Amino acid sequence: MSGVAEATLEAVLSRGFERFYFLSDEGDLCVKRHPNGLLVVGLAPSHPLRSGSGSVVKLEFHEDISEKEAHGKRGRGGANVSRKTVIAEISLQDGSVVQVKAPFEAQLVELNSNLTEEPQLLQSSPEDEGFVAILQPRRPQDGARILEKLVDESGSRPRLHVRL
Residue 5: inside a domain: no
Q: Is residue 4 part of a domain?
A: no
In a domain, 6, yes or no: no
CA distance 124 to 90: 15
105: domain CATH number? 2.40.50.100
In a domain, 71, yes or no: yes
Containing 121, the helix (H) or strand (E) segment is helix 121-124
29 within a domain of the structure (yes/no): yes
Using DSSP's 3-state secondary structure scheme, residue 99 falls into strand
**How many domains does the structure of the chain reveal?**
1
Among 13-17, 25-29, 51-55, top mean pLDDT goes to: 25-29
User: Could you report the per-residue pLDDT of 46-91, keeping only the tens digit for each?
Assistant: 999 988 777 899 999 988 777 766 655 556 667 889 998 999 999 9
Q: Residue 89 pairs with which residues in a beta bridge?
A: 60, 99
Cβ proximity of 130 and 123 under 8 Å? yes
- pTM for the whole thing? 0.82
- With respect to residue 119, please indicate whether it lies within any of the assigned structural domains: yes
Classify residue 27: in a domain, yes or no. Answer: yes
How far, in Å, CA of 92 to CA of 32, rounded?
25
Show the domain range for 130.
18-152
pLDDT tens track for 134-158 = 999 988 888 888 988 899 887 766 5
In a domain, 11, yes or no: no
Q: What is the mean pLDDT of the chain?
A: 83
